Amino acid sequence: MNAAIFEGKGKIGVKEVADPVIQKPDDAIVRITHTCICGSDLWYYRGLTPFPEGGRIGHEPMGVVEAVGPEVTRAKVGDVVVMPFFVQDGTCPECLAGMSAACRNRMGWGGEGNDGGQGEKVRVPFANGTLFPVPDGASLDEHMMVALLPLTDVLCTGHHAAVCAEVGKGSTVAVVGDGAVGLCAVAASKRLGASRIFLVSTHEDRAAIGKQFGATDIIAARGDDAVRAIKEATDGLGVDGALECVGTPESWETAFGAVRAGGNIGAVGVPHGVAPIPVERFFWKNIGVKGGPAPAAHYIPELMPDILSGKLDVSAIFTKTVSLADIAEGYKAMDERKEIKVLVKP
Amino acid sequence: MNAAIFEGKGKIGVKEVADPVIQKPDDAIVRITHTCICGSDLWYYRGLTPFPEGGRIGHEPMGVVEAVGPEVTRAKVGDVVVMPFFVQDGTCPECLAGMSAACRNRMGWGGEGNDGGQGEKVRVPFANGTLFPVPDGASLDEHMMVALLPLTDVLCTGHHAAVCAEVGKGSTVAVVGDGAVGLCAVAASKRLGASRIFLVSTHEDRAAIGKQFGATDIIAARGDDAVRAIKEATDGLGVDGALECVGTPESWETAFGAVRAGGNIGAVGVPHGVAPIPVERFFWKNIGVKGGPAPAAHYIPELMPDILSGKLDVSAIFTKTVSLADIAEGYKAMDERKEIKVLVKP
């Protein structure tokens, strides 16, 4: 079988690797039908975070179960499954508390350890905690398959931003970040009942998708100007929830500026260079700060039915599709910000 | 009339001052029947925060309405009323959003501006936002009056810690701080449905009141030892909500140590010397951090009925009662930590 390989900064190759086999009784083997390239894949691609050269890459696999170990009860051969961007056991106290992202057996995909999500097949450890089968009888045309794929990461991550910011019926929301996660955060906020959703975006194409997903106001500005526009539109109050979907010092500033006293920042952008936060900064305004890696395994059972029923569809985030053989082209397009998110079909 | 006056570090006097009069159409005059000394009063008493010498003091007044301006609709002459530790208008966007502690017309009691809460009477600005009358027909014996008094500050503050930490049915909670606020946080957590409440306390008398209020486990240890005991008692997980009711670097460490991945720190102790928090510290464990001055005006309508029905009674926090003439003795007892909270009867 073939799989995508990290070959050094800016270099993605595709090589033949050994087919995966069941190694433990709770392993499964999945043939990947759809996967994608994540904004976080760009960190090693750009040489910003270390990654083993020659390592398998990708962490958003979806496909069809080909084989299961004797202890796998969660899914059966032939099931269409999505997998969160982490492997988790589903049984430890953290998983049972709903925080699968802190699972005691958490493992990443790819790297030197496990199979990567960008390849023809993966071995799935802890399959009973990691496989999320689509129910039998669901109508799975190609569009629906693509609509389910964001469950592996970005849709759950956008939803997590909204949950952490306590978005609910009637909430006012500002989404900071117009990448795939930010756009999913818009859709998640709408689904949770937000009545007004500001999307901070200076890119017309991304803003258009944001509007399609439920943004009521596009703030085509940055930094202080964006904050001023949001404040003016809310009687000087600010929003109930600011969804930080970037992770830079600038995006955190915008989130702090936009949120009202007593409101919440839901932060899912992996922090890069964000300065420690003085306690007084949030304390005196009663601003809540929460976020981190999304517990996707906790959210998929809630979100999948809405996708299957057609209520929730963020497939428009995929602006380009490549074959596995052409995956390097997908990385390049995302690195150059020509595409929002690239779908890969092995 | 007489009122308590700050006369410099460690010196509290009682002096004759002019009777208050209605100055604005939405003012009220309240004859104070019960008030108390707050842990935060000790800051100026100890010379740790500046306060005008000769200024009126106290911010937890309760009493009977003596006069109202023509625009006051919230209460009438003769009503028994409690007042939050801030004056608020009740009509600005922040107040309407439930965050009265950030009211655009927020004022403190006492100091150089308003009347202090420790005196025979107060003029109440923004009476329509600041007066909370006990409903007509309530049975108000002395015990009930004392049970209502903590609504002015510490009960709402303890409740705020629990709300910020998202305490609900079945939550596990650790309360850090065994002062009046921490003990009220125990009672509030129980009221909100927490199933297990750890109280960190090395004082037997305070721990006993904590147990009376609903603490299921007393952790008679500090710092790392306290964290270890809480972790051991929760299968290594930690608690859903850590209620930070002190505001020191040590108490923040304990809260961070005790909370589980995906849990929440509800912080109401005014921060003193707490270092800025690296974003990565809460991000990778998905720990939520929220808190600040309690929006008491938002909580009183919810909490008062439970006090009147006898379901909620934290009057045991008052371990000493003094007359206004003897208020200096009350400050001294609290400064020496001989008493948890001192009730003052003008």
Predicted pLDDT of residue A112: 76
pLDDT(A111) > 90: no
pLDDT(A248) > 90: yes
Predicted pLDDT of residue B113: 81
pLDDT in tens, A146-157: 999 999 999 999
C-alpha B300/C-alpha A177 separation (Å) is 38
pLDDT(B126) > 90: yes
pLDDT(B100) > 90: yes
Decide if B290 and A94 are in contact by the 8 Å CB cutoff: no
Predicted pLDDT of residue A113: 81
Q: Where are the alpha helices (DSSP H) in B7-136?
A: 41-45, 93-96, 127-130
pLDDT in tens, A313-346: 999 999 999 999 999 999 999 999 999 999 999 9
Task: Identify which of A235, A240, A283 has the shortest CB distance to residue B292.
Answer: A283
> How far away is chain A from the Cα of B216, in angstroms, using its nearest Cα?
20
> How far away is chain B from the Cα of A339, in angstroms, using its nearest Cα?
28
pLDDT(B32) > 80: yes
Please report, for chain B, the start and end positions of each structural domain, with discontinuous segments joined by +: 2-153+295-345, 155-291
> How far away is chain B from the Cα of A265, in angstroms, using its nearest Cα?
10
pLDDT band at B112; cut points 50, 70, 90: confident
Residues of B in contact with A276 (CB under 8 A): 275-279
> How far away is chain B from the Cα of A293, in angstroms, using its nearest Cα?
7
Residues of B in contact with A93 (CB under 8 A): 234-237, 260
Decide if B99 and A293 are in contact by the 8 Å CB cutoff: no
Tell me the ipTM for this assembly. Answer: 0.95
Handedness of CA B268, B269, B273, B278 (dihedral sign): negative
Check if A2-153+295-345 and A155-291 are the same fold: no
- On average, the pLDDT of chain B sits at 97
Give the nearest chain B residue to A97 (CA atoms).
B262
pLDDT in tens, A198-222: 999 999 999 999 999 999 999 999 9
Give the nearest chain B residue to A172 (CA atoms).
B97
Task: Mutate one of B283, B284, B285 to test the A interface: name it (highest A CB count within 10 A).
Answer: B283
Give percent of chain A with pLDDT exceeding 90. Answer: 99
Arithmetic mean of pLDDT, B214-238:
98
| CATH topology (fold) of A2-153+295-345 | Quinone Oxidoreductase; Chain A, domain 1 (3.90.180)
Give percent of chain B with pLDDT exceeding 70. Answer: 100
pLDDT(A279) > 90: yes
Arithmetic mean of pLDDT, B8-20:
97
Cα distances from B142 to residues A255, B85, B146, in angstroms, run 48, 22, 6
C-alpha B2/C-alpha A322 separation (Å) is 82
Task: Identify which of B94, B278, B287 has the shortest CB distance to residue A261.
Answer: B94
Whether the CB of A77 is below 8 Å from some CB of chain B: the reply is no
Arithmetic mean of pLDDT, B130-142:
96
- On average, the pLDDT of chain A sits at 97
Whether the CB of A232 is below 8 Å from some CB of chain B: the reply is no
pLDDT band at B111; cut points 50, 70, 90: confident
pLDDT in tens, A81-95: 999 999 999 999 999
Q: How many CB pairs under 8 A join A and B?
A: 130
Decide if A102 and B285 are in contact by the 8 Å CB cutoff: yes
Q: How far apart are the first and last CA of chain A?
A: 10
Q: Does domain A155-291 have CATH number 3.40.50.720?
A: yes
Decide if A261 and B164 are in contact by the 8 Å CB cutoff: no
Residues of B in contact with A290 (CB under 8 A): 264, 282, 286-290
Arithmetic mean of pLDDT, B293-309:
98
Handedness of CA A176, A179, A185, A191 (dihedral sign): positive
CB neighbour list of residue B45: distance below 8 Å, 6 or more residues apart: B6, B9, B10, B12, B331, B335
Predicted pLDDT of residue B108: 94
Task: Identify which of B94, B275, B289 has the shortest CB distance to residue A282.
Answer: B289
